[in-house]
Structure 1
């Protein structure tokens, strides 16, 4: 990647990290502590001055509750509720995922049986 484009991409990623953190009313210190990095390093990431490791990038997406696509490219999921549910399901055991899927399907069937909202 050309140096100018890399710098531009780092600034854009940093802006998204900052926006997500501030929307969650999370201090830089608290987020840095959760990622086991210094607040200064996080500040450098948010300002586009530093490139983070893949492990920090992945952890950031999990802590901030956004997809890797969003952090990297600003691509929002088509439906945030579906994306949030998918993220939570992927963190469970296969058995718990199956139970959750069955419960959700039953809840959806019950909602459909009640008819449209008025």
Structure 2
């Protein structure tokens, strides 16, 4: 299977922007150079497994999402609990969006307990 470097770079750039991070900030978080972030986002360079893991962790997402763009998980195959699935979905949101989700959940939970 051949990976689409441009699509991977696009997903990284989209997540970075959603989280209001600059290329410099992502580079610092992932312990790579700013120019390397630019090259990855432009689809010019591939990443080693350790760098892929560092970028995914820095963006609070999975390497699977970065590589394949899978926005949802098959719960049995990819994540050990619903908490992990929820955490992954929420990690792709901006801070204001996460606050909205938290508010919605806080309103819904009392009704679920009945």
Q: CA deviation at 1:82?
A: 4.0
CA contact (8 A) 1:69 1:76 kept: no
1:56 lines up with 2:58 in the alignment: no
Report which structure shows greater RCO (CA 8 Å, sep ≥6): 2
CA contact (8 A) 1:65 1:84 kept: no
1:27 lines up with 2:29 in the alignment: no
Q: Which has the larger radius of gyration?
A: 1
Match of 2:37 in 1: 42
Alignment root-mean-square deviation, CA = 2.8
Give TM-score scaled by structure 2 length: 0.64
Give TM-score scaled by structure 1 length: 0.62
Residue aligned with 2:61, SS: coil
Residue aligned with 1:70, SS: helix
Match of 1:69 in 2: 64
